[in-house]
């Protein structure tokens, strides 16, 4: 007996929820509240526009956390057009790479801050729909909602791995279904009575899990782009938020700010994920939110949710990221190069064929030929961890050329490539070092070119890097050295870089 085809889609689920809760508030942002009825009307109109404006390519979303982000994402699902969220902090060369690599035909942007200058270099290569009058005219001139094309692709997310260029990760409708139900609905118990606050960038997979978890279960979802401690506390109190989540860096800032008090008392669920947490931070968060369910997970763009640590274990197991979720297998790479259920090594995740359950469908664009899983179907995360006999996972390290700072993955090669573009830099290496606030900080090791006209400073190199890539990738510490240690094959021996040299 053959299995029935997978028919759940984001568009079908949103249509069902909007039909059940038409007058309820769907979204709240700086522009005010928007009902499910109004959101569905605008999504339908924009889907009509996308259906005619985008041919065989995809639509990109280069927008901050606001309602137009959600509208564009849902409209792409309804029109059957693949959606490519772009980190709003990305600069020119990062954006150009994604536009070209993903085949983006139309880029929706709110043109805020640096975006106007960044987009100026793209005009002529891609159509840009600016949030504001142009966006509103597109909705009014649209031919109406399309009949709807089923597209197994939901979105393509770009993630920094250990290579110089971000890789496009293909997410299926099945991946989105699991992200919506297994996390928010099943584990966190979201219902239409909840108010979900999202401060996580929506371009991240976890941001989309939170957005779809809220909208596809009938919640009231509040979008905010400001996670500063004072603003966050004020937003929770003002909207009586019941569910939210963030990276440990932000959680620490809130816990040590002393501004929370009882203003976070409305929170039913608080999740902290994205990087390792210290036992002290977990205790601080638990003291700050004594009556709130505290969760943490191990997840990535490629794997989706892999493990979950429930509230009962949040402080009892201070080094753990939980146990595998139903339908997900987690193992570590053993000494013989095969997956083993107990021990320490690189963390491997498997969840049926790629794209069928939690693990995403593979890479697209320049990375399409990159092996996604091994011969046994395991995805190699590059993270180092330890699994005990009962299946509890503790993440103990990172791959050598990946830096995790403030919840962002940073490829050392990418930053090195930018630094080498500066005329004063003859050679460069980038590593990560422990940082109390951000988990890790980016450290640049610089060999200067004696032919350069003047002595270059660390500040100059930091500004140079931030002008070309997202500011969170710039080195926080710059160390000048006479040469970089190398192996016999000519590779930089990064493990030999210990702090020698002049810091700036």
Q: What residue spans define the domains of the chain? A: 402-503
Give the residue-averaged pLDDT of 402-418.
79
Task: Answer whether residue 163 shows pLDDT above 60.
Answer: no
Task: Answer whether residue 47 shows pLDDT above 80.
Answer: yes
- Which residue, chain included where needed, has tokens 């505290």? 294
Distances (CA, A) of 353 to 87, 206, 218, 297, 331: 28, 21, 30, 22, 16
Does domain 402-503 sit in CATH 3.30.300.30?
A: yes
Give the residue-averaged pLDDT of 38-62.
94
Say what percent of the chain tops pLDDT 70: 91
Give helix 10-20 / helix 36-53 axis angle, nearest 10°.
150
pLDDT in tens, 220-247: 999 998 888 889 999 999 999 999 998 8
- Phi-psi region at 143: left, alpha or beta (left = phi > 0; alpha = psi -120 to 50): alpha
Query: Following DSSP, what letter does each residue of 277-291 receive, concatenated?
Result: --HHHHHHHHHH-TT
What is the pLDDT, as a whole number, of residue 364?
Answer: 96
**Class of residue 287 by CB neighbours under 10 A (exposed 0-12, middle 13-18, buried 19+):** exposed
pLDDT in tens, 455-471: 899 999 999 999 888 88
If you ran DSSP here, which 8-state letter would residue 128 be given? Answer: E
pLDDT in tens, 265-287: 999 999 998 767 778 889 999 99
Q: Name the helix (H) or strand (E) containing 431.
A: strand 425-435
Identify whether the C-beta of residue 159 lies closer than 8 Å to the C-beta of residue 363: no
Give the residue-averaged pLDDT of 435-448.
88
Of residues 273, 264, 299, 297, the one with CA closest to residue 187: 297
- Choose between 373 and 123: higher pLDDT: 373
Give the residue-averaged pLDDT of 121-146.
84
Identify whether the C-beta of residue 344 lies closer than 8 Å to the C-beta of residue 336: no
Identify whether the C-beta of residue 273 lies closer than 8 Å to the C-beta of residue 245: yes
What is the pLDDT, as a whole number, of residue 312?
Answer: 97
- Choose between 250 and 288: higher pLDDT: 288
Give helix 205-215 / helix 10-20 axis angle, nearest 10°.
40
Of residues 273, 252, 247, the one with CA closest to residue 183: 273
What is the pLDDT, as a whole number, of residue 400?
Answer: 55
Give the residue-averaged pLDDT of 175-190.
88
Task: Answer whether residue 317 shows pLDDT above 60.
Answer: yes
Locate 390 and state its tokens.
């009962």
Give the residue-averaged pLDDT of 415-435.
87
What is the pLDDT, as a whole number, of residue 432?
Answer: 86
- Among 4-18, 220-234, 304-318, 434-448, the range of highest mean pLDDT: 304-318
What is the pLDDT, as a whole number, of residue 488?
Answer: 46
Task: Answer whether residue 250 shows pLDDT above 50.
Answer: yes
Locate 411 and state its tokens.
């490829």
Distance from C-alpha of 476 to C-alpha of 491, rounded to nearest angstrom: 24
Distance from C-alpha of 483 to C-alpha of 445, rounded to nearest angstrom: 9
What is the pLDDT, as a whole number, of residue 184?
Answer: 87
What is the pLDDT, as a whole number, of residue 503?
Answer: 59
What is the pLDDT, as a whole number, of residue 1?
Answer: 43
Distances (CA, A) of 236 to 214, 265, 283, 341: 16, 9, 21, 41
Q: What is the mean pLDDT of the chain?
A: 88
What is the pLDDT, as a whole number, of residue 71?
Answer: 98
- Among 70-79, 122-131, 165-174, 452-461, the range of highest mean pLDDT: 70-79
Task: Answer whether residue 501 shows pLDDT above 60.
Answer: no
- Choose between 308 and 471: higher pLDDT: 308
Residue 334 — pLDDT band, cuts 50, 70, 90? confident
Of 142-156, 181-195, 305-319, 417-431, least confident by mean pLDDT is 142-156
Give the residue-averaged pLDDT of 384-401.
83
Locate 466 and state its tokens.
């931030």
Distance from C-alpha of 345 to C-alpha of 411, rounded to nearest angstrom: 21
Residue 489 — pLDDT band, cuts 50, 70, 90? very low
Say what percent of the chain tops pLDDT 90: 59
Identify whether the C-beta of residue 14 lies closer than 8 Å to the C-beta of residue 77: yes
Residue 33 pairs in a beta bridge with 28
What is the pLDDT, as a whole number, of residue 412?
Answer: 80
Distance from C-alpha of 435 to C-alpha of 503, rounded to nearest angstrom: 16
Of 83-92, 105-114, 144-153, least confident by mean pLDDT is 144-153
Query: Following DSSP, what letter does each residue of 338-405 receive, concatenated?
Result: SEESSEEEEEEEE-SSTTSSSS--EEEGGGTTS--S-TTS-EEEEEEEEE-TT--EEEEE--TTEEEE
- Which residue, chain included where needed, has tokens 């190069």? 337
Give the residue-averaged pLDDT of 35-44.
97
What is the pLDDT, as a whole number, of residue 486?
Answer: 66
Distance from C-alpha of 419 to C-alpha of 440, rounded to nearest angstrom: 19
Residue ranges of alpha helices (H) inside 122-247 are 133-141, 173-180, 205-215, 229-239
SS3 at position 193: coil
Give the residue-averaged pLDDT of 3-24.
88
């Amino acid at each position: 007996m053959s299995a029935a085809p997978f028919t759940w889609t984001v568009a079908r689920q949103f249509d069902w929820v909007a039909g059940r809760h038409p007058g309820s508030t769907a979204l709240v942002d700086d522009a005010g509240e928007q009902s499910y009825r109004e959101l569905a009307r605008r999504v339908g109109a924009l889907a009509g526009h996308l259906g005619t404006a985008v041919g065989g390519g995809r639509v990109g979303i280069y927008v901050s956390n606001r309602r137009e982000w959600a509208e564009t994402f849902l409209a792409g699902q309804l029109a059957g057009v693949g959606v490519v969220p772009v980190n709003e902090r990305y600069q020119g060369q990062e954006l150009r790479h994604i536009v070209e690599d993903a085949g983006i035909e139309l880029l929706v942007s709110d043109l805020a801050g640096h975006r106007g200058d960044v987009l100026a270099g793209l005009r002529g290569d891609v159509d840009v729909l600016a949030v504001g009058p142009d966006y509103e005219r597109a909705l009014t001139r649209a031919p109406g909602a399309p009949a709807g094309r089923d597209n197994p692709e939901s979105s393509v997310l770009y993630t920094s791995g250990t290579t110089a260029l971000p890789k496009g990760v293909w997410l299926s409708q099945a991946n989105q279904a699991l992200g919506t139900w297994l996390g928010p609905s099943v584990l966190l118990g979201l219902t239409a009575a909840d108010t979900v606050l999202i401060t996580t960038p929506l371009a991240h997979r976890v941001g989309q899990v939170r957005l779809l978890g809220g909208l596809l279960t009938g919640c009231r979802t509040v979008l905010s782009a400001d996670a500063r401690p004072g603003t966050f506390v004020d937003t929770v109190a003002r909207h009586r938020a019941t569910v939210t989540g963030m990276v440990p860096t932000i959680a620490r800032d809130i816990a040590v700010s002393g501004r929370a008090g009882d203003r976070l008392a409305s929170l039913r669920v608080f999740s902290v994920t994205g990087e390792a947490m210290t036992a002290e931070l977990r205790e601080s968060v638990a003291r700050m939110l004594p009556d709130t369910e505290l969760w943490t997970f191990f997840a990535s763009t490629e794997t989706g949710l892999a493990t979950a640590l429930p509230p009962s274990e949040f402080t009892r197991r201070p080094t753990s990221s939980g146990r595998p979720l139903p339908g997900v297998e987690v193992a570590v790479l053993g000494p013989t190069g095969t997956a083993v259920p107990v021990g320490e090594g690189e963390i491997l995740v498997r969840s049926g064929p790629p794209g069928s359950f939690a693990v995403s469908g593979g890479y697209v664009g320049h990375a399409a030929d990159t092996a996604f899983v091994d011969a046994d179907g395991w995805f190699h995360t590059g993270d180092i961890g330890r699994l005990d006999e009962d299946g509890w996972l503790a993440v103990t390290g990172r791959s050598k050329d990946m830096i995790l700072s403030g919840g962002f993955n940073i490829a050392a090669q990418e930053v090195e490539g930018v630094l080498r573009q500066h005329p004063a830099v003859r050679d460069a290496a980038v590593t990560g070092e422990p940082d109390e606030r951000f988990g890790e900080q980016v450290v640049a090791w610089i060999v200067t070119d004696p032919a350069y006209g003047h002595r270059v400073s660390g500040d100059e190199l930091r500004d140079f890097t931030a002008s070309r890539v997202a500011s969170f990738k710039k080195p926080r510490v710059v160390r000048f050295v006479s040469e970089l240690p190398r192996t016999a094959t000519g590779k930089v021996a990064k493990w030999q870089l210990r702090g020698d040299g002049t810091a700036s």
